[in-house]
């Protein structure tokens, strides 16, 4: 495969505004009075709590176990006392609450005795390494939070030849990955080597955007010219950090529609995930904290902070100088793919990479959408080579069969189409709506199918029980008939015997009478 860069279709060059938060290295955030740790911080099933109110826990101690294969364990971010296991608001566009474990830290920061690593990880089998990753509760830290142990187990028939490590971080404002690569390049690459061993990949490709020269230099120096590990600069073009786009940039390979990178022999992991894997295996530390970018014109001191999971947004923002008078909106993530929250009381999770406190001038004013003018600008910038206009029409018409014909689920919701739309159409909102409706319909179909199977099983059971009752009834009738027949036969035999005796008796009397007469 060629070492050259393979540009992807579409995309945009955006004002990155990265310098706001890269003036100082990441610093730790002091513990808040309470940590609110959600049980659902990842794609898949929510974890199940294993602690109760009043229980003492140590840092890194499991407080919730994975509920199935596609799930992730949750650990205590600090030593202290569990004060509640209850619902709290969590960072989600809906603003709804979800089950959380509330911990009151004791300030001692004592680690759980089970948090033990090994520097000689090369001596461990891939299965043992993957088990450690799973036990540490590691999820993807650059996206939706897919459990890492699942991605590191592509399954039989999928030979992985390339591990792609994503350091592109293309969305404006976000710099947590950049600062991680600058300050901990060895940890990133050692984590990549561990994942390479688990996957059995022949090579590792690290992709970093060209506007991160310090990170590029740090990782190239840490790589030391290894022949199977290459750090490449990719163009500054959003969304180069998308999984499919970065894989194409570095390898020229196309992930098939509605397929997975593993289908073409590639696995992609974020640099933050790589560092977390290294910490879990080498130091025995589960994923209990992460670097978060706090930035925007609405915060006094934009910077990156090392934040324990469960820390309220308000506490994090306070340690970045607090709000300014210009603060207008609080966004989780970046301006393109992030979402606004109404309260800063919600906690940091494993997937929260940025708190963007947008100033009034940074917030796009709300405008009424106008009719589509069919300019085609949306299709020109779509990195997935979709037809956003057609997706919009069918999503708006609730024609969910046709919208899937146009590959709705290949949309990565990057927002490029909506940004360039002269009619200000909320295109991505329509796509998300269509996806959620399709998922809801699919769940309803699954429920209906389960109900149908249960009904059929119930009817079959009733029919089987009826047949069994009839069989038993027939058997009883047969037995009764047989018994009656036997009884009749016996009665008939007895009657015949009595008749014979009677005949014999009468015959004997008749002879005696004749003799007497004679």
Residue-wise pLDDT for 439-458, tens only, equals 999 989 999 999 999 999 99
> What is the separation, in whole angstroms, between the first and last Cα of the chain?
137
CB 16 within 8 A of CB 174: no
Residue-wise pLDDT for 418-432, tens only, equals 999 999 999 999 999
Residue-wise pLDDT for 19-28, tens only, equals 999 999 999 9
Pairing label, strands 229-234, 74-75: unpaired
Q: 6 pLDDT exceeds 90?
A: yes
* Core vs surface per residue 486-502: b (16+ CB within 10 A) or e: eeeeeeeeeeeeeeeee
Q: Which residues contact 223 (CB under 8 A, 6 or more apart)?
A: 189, 206, 229, 230, 231
Residue with tokens 């603060």: 327
Q: How many CB atoms lie within 10 A of CB 114?
A: 13
CB 348 within 8 A of CB 304: no
Which pLDDT belongs to residue 367? 80
CB 49 within 8 A of CB 67: no
Domains and their CATH numbers in the chain? 19-358 (3.40.50.11540), 377-437 (no CATH)
Higher per-residue confidence, 306 vs 96 = 306
Residue-wise pLDDT for 397-408, tens only, equals 999 999 999 999
For residues 382 and 42, give the distance between their C-alpha atoms in angstroms, rounded to a whole number.
27
Q: 514 pLDDT exceeds 50?
A: no
CB 99 within 8 A of CB 171: no
Q: Classify the C-alpha dihedral 24-30-31-36 as positive or negative.
A: negative
Q: Give 76's pLDDT tier (boundaries 50, 70, 90).
A: very high
For residues 111 and 122, give the distance between their C-alpha atoms in angstroms, rounded to a whole number.
25
Which pLDDT belongs to residue 123? 96
Q: 220 pLDDT exceeds 80?
A: yes
Average pLDDT over residues 484-500: 86
Q: 107 pLDDT exceeds 70?
A: yes
Average pLDDT over residues 207-213: 97
Which pLDDT belongs to residue 517? 43
Which pLDDT belongs to residue 508? 59
Q: What percent of the chain has pLDDT over 70?
A: 97
Which pLDDT belongs to residue 1? 40
Q: Give 509's pLDDT tier (boundaries 50, 70, 90).
A: low
Q: Which residues contact 172 (CB under 8 A, 6 or more apart)?
A: 14, 15, 16, 17, 18, 238, 334, 335, 336
Mean pLDDT of all residues belonging to the chain? 94
pTM: 0.86
Higher per-residue confidence, 188 vs 509 = 188
Which pLDDT belongs to residue 419? 95
Residue-wise pLDDT for 296-305, tens only, equals 999 999 999 9
Which pLDDT belongs to residue 441? 92
41 alpha carbon, distance to own chain's centre: 8
For residues 142 and 409, give the distance between their C-alpha atoms in angstroms, rounded to a whole number.
19
């Amino acid at each position: 495969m060629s070492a050259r860069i393979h540009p992807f279709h579409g995309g945009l060059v955006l004002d990155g505004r990265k310098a706001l938060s890269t003036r100082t290295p990441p610093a730790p955030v002091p513990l808040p009075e309470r940590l609110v740790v959600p049980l659902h911080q990842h794609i898949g099933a929510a974890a199940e709590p294993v602690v109760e109110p009043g229980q003492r826990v140590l840092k890194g101690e499991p407080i919730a176990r994975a509920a199935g294969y596609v799930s992730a364990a949750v650990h205590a971010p600090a030593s202290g006392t569990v004060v509640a296991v209850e619902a709290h608001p969590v960072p989600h566009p809906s603003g709804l609450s979800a089950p959380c474990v509330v911990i009151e830290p004791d300030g001692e920061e004592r680690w759980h005795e089970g948090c033990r690593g090994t520097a000689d990880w090369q001596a461990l089998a891939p299965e043992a390494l993957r088990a450690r990753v799973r036990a540490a509760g590691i999820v993807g830290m650059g996206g939706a939070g897919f459990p890492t142990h699942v991605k590191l187990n592509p399954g039989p028939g999928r030979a992985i030849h390339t591990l792609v490590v994503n350091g592109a971080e293309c969305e404006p404002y976000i710099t947590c990955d950049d600062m991680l690569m600058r300050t901990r390049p060895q940890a990133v690459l050692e984590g990549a080597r561990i994942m390479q061993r688990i996957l059995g990949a022949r090579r590792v490709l690290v992709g970093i955007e060209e506007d991160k020269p310090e990170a590029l230099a740090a990782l190239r120096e840490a790589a030391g010219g290894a022949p199977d590990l290459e750090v490449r600069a990719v163009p500054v073009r959003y969304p180069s950090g998308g999984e499919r786009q970065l894989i194409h940039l570095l390898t020229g390979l196309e992930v098939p529609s509605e397929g997975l990178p593993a289908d073409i022999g590639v696995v992609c992991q974020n640099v933050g995930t790589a560092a977390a894997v290294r910490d879990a295996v080498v130091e025995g530390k589960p994923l209990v904290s992460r670097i978060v970018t706090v930035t925007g014109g609405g915060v006094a001191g934009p910077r990156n902070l090392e934040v324990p999971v469960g820390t309220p947004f308000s506490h994090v923002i306070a340690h970045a100088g607090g709000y300014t008078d210009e603060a207008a909106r609080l966004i989780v993530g970046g301006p393109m793919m992030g979402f606004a929250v109404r309260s800063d009381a919600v906690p940091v999770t494993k997937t929260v990479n940025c708190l963007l406190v947008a100033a009034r001038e940074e917030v796009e004013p709300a405008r009424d959408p106008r009719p589509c003018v069919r300019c085609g600008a949306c299709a020109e910038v779509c990195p997935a080579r979709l037809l956003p206009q057609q997706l919009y029409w069918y999503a708006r018409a609730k024609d969910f069969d046709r919208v899937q014909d146009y590959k709705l689920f290949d949309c990565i919701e990057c927002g490029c189409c909506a940004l360039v739309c002269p009619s200000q159409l909320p295109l991505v909102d329509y796509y998300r709506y269509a996806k959620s409706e399709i998922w809801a319909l699919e769940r309803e179909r699954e429920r209906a199918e389960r109900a149908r199977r249960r009904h059929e099983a119930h009817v079959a059971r009733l029919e089987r029980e009826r047949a069994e009752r009839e069989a038993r009834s027939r058997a009883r009738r047969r037995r009764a008939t047989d018994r009656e027949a036997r009884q009749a036969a016996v009665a008939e035999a007895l009657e015949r015997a009595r008749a014979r005796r009677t005949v014999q008796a009468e015959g004997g009397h008749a002879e005696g009478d004749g003799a007497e007469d004679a």
